[in-house]
Amino acid sequence: MDVRFINPFLEATIDVLKTMAFIEPSPGRPYLKNDSLAIGDVSGIIGFTGAATGSMALSFSEACILKIVSNMLGEESKEINGDIKDAVGEITNMVSGAARKKLESLGLSISAAIPTVVAGKGHSVSHIMGGPSIIIPFETEQGPFVVDVCVGEMK
């Protein structure tokens, strides 16, 4: 996988959470993942095409997403419900938009689809290109989340 694709997603994730949720996540060391089992409790997935075809998922632990959404809405969220899923879709959309803008400045133009959100312990994240995907793990004070990117061959 072309490493030029990884940094824009990493930076976009930090930007979005810092701006919208006042949370500064620390990235860990990226690694390869071969199965489709989600690492978190709720995931937003978005596909893209253009200079490359692939998909990205953001997969949050429950404690982490509850804190993020509480900060975004200015009111406490206590469980993963429709509002949380809605917010995960929107965060996925924003990260994808910000990453695409960064990719565009590198001359890699891609367009994205509408995000889908899946929740529940042990749910799966299926990438359009199959796999493996690169996981960028993040830590926050409330718990972990990951950015899971799978990009196919570039055109």
Partner 1 sequence: MGSDKNMKILIVDDFATMRKVIKNLLRQIGYQDVIEAEDGVHALKELKSQKIDFVISDWNMPNMTGIELLRAVRADSELSSLPFLMVTAESLKENVVEAVKAGVSNYIVKPFTAEVLNEKIKKIIEKQ
Helix (H) or strand (E) holding 34: none
Q: Which is nearer to partner 1, 33 or 51 (CB)?
A: 51
- For residue 76, state whether it binds partner 1 (rule: CB under 8 A): no
Candidates 31-39, 60-68, 79-87, 142-150: pick the segment binding partner 1 (CB under 8 A).
79-87
Q: Are 59 and 115 in contact (CB under 8 A)?
A: no
**What are the structure tokens assigned to 4, written together?**
């030029």
Residue 149 contacts by C-beta under 8 Å, 6 or more apart in sequence? 1, 5, 6, 9, 54, 55, 56, 57, 133, 134, 136
Q: How far is the CB of 130 from partner 1 (least distance, A)?
A: 27
Q: Which is nearer to partner 1, 33 or 66 (CB)?
A: 66
Candidates 35-43, 53-61, 90-98, 129-137: pick the segment binding partner 1 (CB under 8 A).
90-98
Among 7, 36, 49, 93, binds partner 1 (CB under 8 A): 93
Q: Are 61 and 68 in contact (CB under 8 A)?
A: no
**What are the structure tokens assigned to 126, written together?**
């299926």
- If phi over 0 gives left and psi between -120 and 50 gives alpha, with beta otherwise, what is residue 87? alpha
Q: How far is the CB of 58 from partner 1 (least distance, A)?
A: 14
Among 59, 61, 96, 133, binds partner 1 (CB under 8 A): 96
Q: Which is nearer to partner 1, 86 or 139 (CB)?
A: 86
- Give the closest residue to 111 by CA, choosing from 94, 122, 125, 96: 96
- For residue 89, state whether it binds partner 1 (rule: CB under 8 A): yes
Binding site for partner 1 (CB under 8 A): 15-16, 19-20, 69, 72-75, 82-83, 86-87, 89-90, 93-94, 96-98, 100-101, 104, 114
